Chains A and B, each alone.
Chain A
Amino acid sequence: MPMPSYDVIVIGAGPNGLAAAHRLASRGAKVLVLEGANTPGGGAGLAHLSYNLDARVEAAMNLRDHGLRWMSTNLATTALSADGMHLRLEGALGDRLTGNCSDADHIAWAQLRRRLLRFAAVLSPLNQMTPPRIARKAGNHLLQLAKVGLRARMLGASEFRELGRILLTNVHDLLDDELTSPLLKGVLAFDATLGGWLGPRSPNTVLPWLVRLSGQTAGVQGVLGLPKGGMPALAAALARSVEAAGVTLRCNARVIRIMIEAERAVGVTLTSGEEVRAPRILSAIAPAVTLLDLVGPRHLDTGLTTRARQLKARGGTAKLDLTLRALPDFRGANLKDRLVIAGSEHAVETAFNPVKYGRTPDRPVMEIVLPSAHDPEAPHHLSAIVQFAPHAPADRDAARQAMLAACMAQLETQAPGIGALVQRAEILMPFDIEDRYGLPGGQWHAGELSVEQMLFLRPLPGVAQYRGPIPGLWLASAGCHPGGGVSGTPGWNAALAMEAAE
């Protein structure tokens, strides 16, 4: 039987692999997507809220027609307080504050919030671009880059100066300069460092936050979206759209090797031994895995191999799932909100401290979503993203147990009696996430999103324009510019770069 032939093989059916596959197929390419797991979605299964789904992807893939419904496109946040004096943030990035917050902070936050959203909006066009190359005659999109620079300058002299001042500073100082309310500073510091391996006092925490704030949901910047059926439903819609576009999607097909012949990527080998060939291979899994494991050092230069080995990929985020007998009571908090336990910016920093030394925090900070609060039919379930968890503790099982116990203790302080409601508890530590999702270090961005690994340095200098180090190989994962979240942006950008190269 003759093998079906493909123009492009996409490795990994995460949001980026699917986005790239759709774009390429819609331009006439015959595309095969190979996914190691038994369902598509990749890292989307880890997230529980959407904050940066690429509008280009959502529109072109027609996700609504493929079943995407938003339960909320503007989920409110309640910052929990153990005395029941919560703080509620509604609208895009806390447009309206109610509850535990000083009058002065209402005014100060309105200013800071506007500024952050404006700065993020100025930088956001960079997300949709191939990062520039620092080289002569590199064929950069100078006009687009100039536009970003011009828009930044058009903020006015004082705002432009302020952007320069805060860009590489830390979240703690930024918040401390303007605000006084611990709950407000806590929830903001939590959001700013979500998914990273940085505490609020770590240098360079503002820029990754601005990248996060440049994301949109349903055309509105800085809001949180909750898909009906959760993030897996979003992944399913992406997969259906891709199949409707004529892409062949194969699950349970794990690639163990990218075949290289005559110094060109020519196909892939699966764990089953099966070989599939195509002139172009697009890897939408972590760059370090792609380069070091699938390609292998003998096909790469020594310097690149070393830099790939040194790519920073430390995950500090754990995922907690509780099956509950009934809805818990967080001292009257609206259970449809995203609930955040981060009593102050110091609580976030304190939760980060032990992780630096491979230990678990006593009082982790977390965001909680209760899908059954939105859907009375659904079984009661609490999903939490917990920070910070060590990615490489000395004893994994002990760390997992300690982390779970610390999470339950934290929850108990905010929702007394919740422990008795728990039917089943599961916590995925960063190393569990690595085992299950293939993300090195359990890092949500497939490589830390920190200043030294952003833009033309992401994933590595020389391969930051989606073109891999070997002819025929392209990189398109969250480890590439502009980073993670369930955005599809790196995949879409990579597909555009491939088209431009033809």
Chain B
Amino acid sequence: MTALRHYETPLQTTAFHPRTEAANKLWSWGNWAGYATVLTYEDLAMEHSAIRNTATVYDLCPMVKYRIEGPEAAVYLNRLTLRDAAKLSVSGVHYTAWVTDQGHLLDDGTLFRLAPDQYRLCCQERHLPWLLDSAHGFDVTVTDETEEIAALSLQGPTSAEILRLAGFDVDQLKPFRMMDLPFGTGRLMISRTGFTGDLGYELWTTPDQALALWDALFQAGALHGLRPIGSAAVNIARLEAGFIITGYDFTPADICLREDRLRSPLEMGLGWLIDWDKGHFTGKAALARQRDHGPKWAFVGLEIEGNIPADGAILYHAQKREVGVITGACWSPVLKKNIALAQILAEHAAGSNIWAEIYALRELHYEKLMMRARVVERPFFAPARRRATPPGRF
């Protein structure tokens, strides 16, 4: 008999579990990277509404985090990722992505520069083998620190006010910057980042400070509409903000089986990330070839007639020829529009005469709808408050 019993409870719990479990009234759990995470605590509409009108807390612990440190950390990251990590100043954050030799996307993520020689890379998928392979020949160490960090996302118009009430002076903190403070018996790092396209922060501490952080926020936020939210509400907010998720909007190259499903940053609307002038990086030659020949695919935002979310809908040109697929869609409560993100053949990226084939389930019968789709700018929703410094007092 083996003493191993872990398979009986395959999902791990996060450092905030005692609080998220108590608040999870619907007992609605999902698997995010091997952790039990809340999908909806109580009411999806209220949770999304809180992101746009008050403030929300979302448990970020399952997000994969790597610590990259050493004298050549910046050089290493410059070869690994698309942007110039050397240009990122200490206490700065940038969004970036990385690709295979063939220029196919592996993942996107946020890169935090904690110190001149120390970075944190946060992403959706696990990439340690690739990061270690990339480290060969560089004076750098790469550590998976996912379990060493407890992280919360605090998002919404009143988030800055709640932090002030909790005793954290974030008035001067600009978007994509971070600050480090003492907290409890440990430290707290606050970055002005998020996945909602709204005013918001991400809070990073050690697991031993997690519950104290949660309690401090909810105490401070009691009169400012703070509520915990699950992944379902975040998904609506990120669609409104036009953000992509690896594995949803494209299949990462390391697990992609079908050659025609691989996507490059140029094909996923991430061409702006590529720093062509910083020198060599993995995939550069392949991307330059694709740039010169023109990518086959494009990634676009769509507004679709009607109010039925078009998840997974196939796109047609002139209702006839298949030209793409919708990778994420929702009815946007803020915009009162039916929005979607889609992969579409590049020649149709300008988007005339595009139709989405939607199957609407109406009392156990599907109704097939062919709805007009209009290509629009992303983000769909970008309130000025997300960038205002000092942040507004809502």
Is the pair B133, A298 in contact by a Cβ cutoff of 8 Å? no
Report the Cα distance A309→B133, complex, angstroms: 10
Is the pair B137, A292 in contact by a Cβ cutoff of 8 Å? yes
Report the Cα distance A299→B285, complex, angstroms: 11
For residue A496, CB closer than 8 A to chain B, the reply is no
Is the pair B137, A305 in contact by a Cβ cutoff of 8 Å? yes
Contact with A along B175-195 (1 / 0, CB 8 A): 000000000000000000000
Whether A298 touches B75, Cβ cut-off 8 Å, given contacts A263-B280, A306-B133, is yes
Is the pair B282, A301 in contact by a Cβ cutoff of 8 Å? yes
Is the pair A297, B138 in contact by a Cβ cutoff of 8 Å? yes
Report the Cα distance A263→B288, complex, angstroms: 12
Report the Cα distance A378→B75, complex, angstroms: 58
For residue B365, CB closer than 8 A to chain A, the reply is no
For residue A304, CB closer than 8 A to chain B, the reply is yes
Whether A298 touches B280, Cβ cut-off 8 Å, given contacts A303-B100, A303-B101, A304-B101, is yes
Residues of A451-485 at the interface with B, using a CB-CB cut-off of 8 Å, are 462, 469
Looking at the assembled complex, report how far the CB atom of A294 sits from the nearest CB atom of chain B, in whole angstroms.
12
For residue A272, CB closer than 8 A to chain B, the reply is no
Looking at the assembled complex, report how far the CB atom of A124 sits from the nearest CB atom of chain B, in whole angstroms.
33
* B136 contact set on A, CB distance < 8 A: 297, 305-306, 309
Report the Cα distance A300→B136, complex, angstroms: 11
Report the Cα distance A36→B280, complex, angstroms: 29
Contact check: which of A296, A302, A462 meets B80 at CB < 8 Å?
A: A302
Report the Cα distance A37→B155, complex, angstroms: 66
Report the Cα distance A446→B79, complex, angstroms: 28
For residue B279, CB closer than 8 A to chain A, the reply is yes
Q: Which of B79, B101, B130 has the most CB of A within 10 A?
A: B101
* A462 contact set on B, CB distance < 8 A: 101
* B283 contact set on A, CB distance < 8 A: 301
Report the Cα distance A469→B101, complex, angstroms: 11
* A306 contact set on B, CB distance < 8 A: 133, 136
For residue B134, CB closer than 8 A to chain A, the reply is yes
Is the pair A301, B101 in contact by a Cβ cutoff of 8 Å? yes
* A309 contact set on B, CB distance < 8 A: 136
Report the Cα distance A297→B134, complex, angstroms: 8
Query: Of all chain B residues, which has the CB nearest A309?
Result: B136
Contact check: which of B102, B130, B137 meets A296 at CB < 8 Å?
A: B137
Q: Which of A292, A301, A303 has the most CB of B within 10 A?
A: A301
Report the Cα distance A305→B101, complex, angstroms: 10
Is the pair A302, B134 in contact by a Cβ cutoff of 8 Å? yes
Looking at the assembled complex, report how far the CB atom of B355 sits from the nearest CB atom of chain A, in whole angstroms.
32
Is the pair B100, A298 in contact by a Cβ cutoff of 8 Å? no
Query: Of all chain B residues, which has the CB nearest A296?
Result: B137
Is the pair A298, B101 in contact by a Cβ cutoff of 8 Å? no
Looking at the assembled complex, report how far the CB atom of A136 sits from the nearest CB atom of chain B, in whole angstroms.
11
Report the Cα distance A172→B303, complex, angstroms: 68
Looking at the assembled complex, report how far the CB atom of A257 sits from the nearest CB atom of chain B, in whole angstroms.
13
* B138 contact set on A, CB distance < 8 A: 297-298
Looking at the assembled complex, report how far the CB atom of A137 sits from the nearest CB atom of chain B, in whole angstroms.
11
Query: Of all chain A residues, which has the CB nearest B80?
Result: A302
Contact with B along A207-251 (1 / 0, CB 8 A): 000000000000000000000000000000000000000000000
Whether A263 touches B279, Cβ cut-off 8 Å, given contacts A302-B80, A303-B100, is yes
Looking at the assembled complex, report how far the CB atom of B123 sits from the nearest CB atom of chain A, in whole angstroms.
16
Report the Cα distance A297→B282, complex, angstroms: 10
* A263 contact set on B, CB distance < 8 A: 279-280, 284-285
Is the pair B137, A298 in contact by a Cβ cutoff of 8 Å? yes
Report the Cα distance A309→B135, complex, angstroms: 13
* B285 contact set on A, CB distance < 8 A: 263, 301, 469
Residues of B277-291 at the interface with A, using a CB-CB cut-off of 8 Å, are 279-280, 282-285
* A302 contact set on B, CB distance < 8 A: 79-80, 100-101, 130, 133-134, 282
Task: Offer 8 A-B interface pairs, CB within 8 angstroms, sorted by A.
Answer: A263-B280, A297-B136, A298-B75, A298-B79, A301-B100, A302-B130, A303-B133, A305-B136
Given A302-B80, A303-B100, list of 6 further CB < 8 A pairs?
Answer: A297-B79, A298-B137, A301-B100, A301-B282, A301-B284, A303-B101
B interface residues with partner A (beta carbon < 8 Å): 75, 79-80, 100-102, 130, 133-134, 136-138, 279-280, 282-285
Ordered nearest first, which 4 A-B pairs have the shortest CB separation? Answer: A297-B137, A303-B101, A301-B101, A301-B282
